[in-house]
A = this chain, B = another copy of it.
Amino acid sequence: IDLSADFRLKLETTYSEWYGEKHQAPHLLKKTVYGLPEFHRKEIQKASLIANPGCYPTSAVLALAPLLREGGIDLDSIVVDSKSGVSGAGRSVSEDKQFIEAHEGVKAYKVASHRHTPEIEQELSFLAETPLKISFTPHLIPMSRGILTTAYVHFSNSISLEKVHKLYQKFYPSEPFVRVCPAGQFPNTSHVRGTNFCDIGVAVDPRVNRIIVVSAIDNLVKGASGQAIQNMNIRFGWDETTGLLTPGFVP
């Protein structure tokens, strides 16, 4: 179970394009399973190499998956706007992560160039069964942990909130770590802090034919090591929630 980004992208060329260097072990890419349990549980059970997903892709793919599986949306209309706490940028000491820089400010960064973009596109393309591209903008906000992702999708035919909400409930019927909010309610990162949950809320805006999906995860749990433990549990046939219902946490 690899927590780095080395084996998340299936294509060697996509890796070198976004990471700026030649892949060092391309022969392993075919054997690798992308470790998002909700969509690859069966392959994970037998995998010899599991690529643990990035934090942003986890929040974005879980949010959009039901719509892409269902179809009926404009595949070139997807906008993913994510807001992350400071720990998402890692533990390395740097000026922009200093308290007086990060506190009481919000900014976008790596606009139209973040390396998680192709990872999100790969998984959404897999779900839609056709290649697609998205707009993705990450933002840094003044809190320690948590990612809120707001995704926008245009659709052609009229659709009701009730129908979309049911679609989401049916899509995640018994997932231990995905919770679909009641219709009209939306997630808050503080409600998933220190947990392996991904909370998802949906809205339909009939004025502009757009569905808005909001998801919240803790980037340090479901977005990182918590999901790695979930993958370990699956791989070794243990209860999937082992060690994940009350994880300790720092910071």
Contacts and interface: CB of A to CB of B under 8 A. Distances in A.
A188 B212 CA distance: 25
Interface core residue of A142, A189, A193 (most chain B CB under 10 Å):
A142
Contacts of A85: 104
Contact of A107 (B91, B99, B109, B186): B186
Given A93-B95, A133-B207, A190-B104, A79 B144 contact: no
A100 B87 contact: yes
Contact of A142 (B142, B150, B204, B246): B142
Contacts of A91: 100
A194 B194 contact: yes
A136 to B, nearest CB: 9
Contact of A141 (B77, B141, B194): B141
Interface residues of A, number: 67
B111 A214 contact: yes
Contacts of A237: none
A64 interface: no
A143 interface: yes
Contacts of A111: 186, 201, 203, 212, 214
A107 to B, nearest CB: 4
A98 B100 contact: no
A148 B99 contact: no
Interface of A: 76-77, 79, 81, 83, 85-87, 91, 93-95, 97-109, 111-112, 133-135, 137, 139, 141-146, 148, 150, 152, 154, 186-191, 193-195, 201, 203-205, 207-208, 210, 212, 214, 216, 246-251
26 contacts: A77-B154, A79-B81, A81-B150, A83-B83, A83-B141, A86-B103, A103-B103, A104-B189, A104-B190, A104-B193, A106-B143, A106-B189, A106-B216, A107-B188, A108-B186, A111-B186, A111-B214, A112-B205, A134-B208, A137-B150, A139-B150, A141-B141, A152-B152, A194-B194, A194-B248, A194-B249
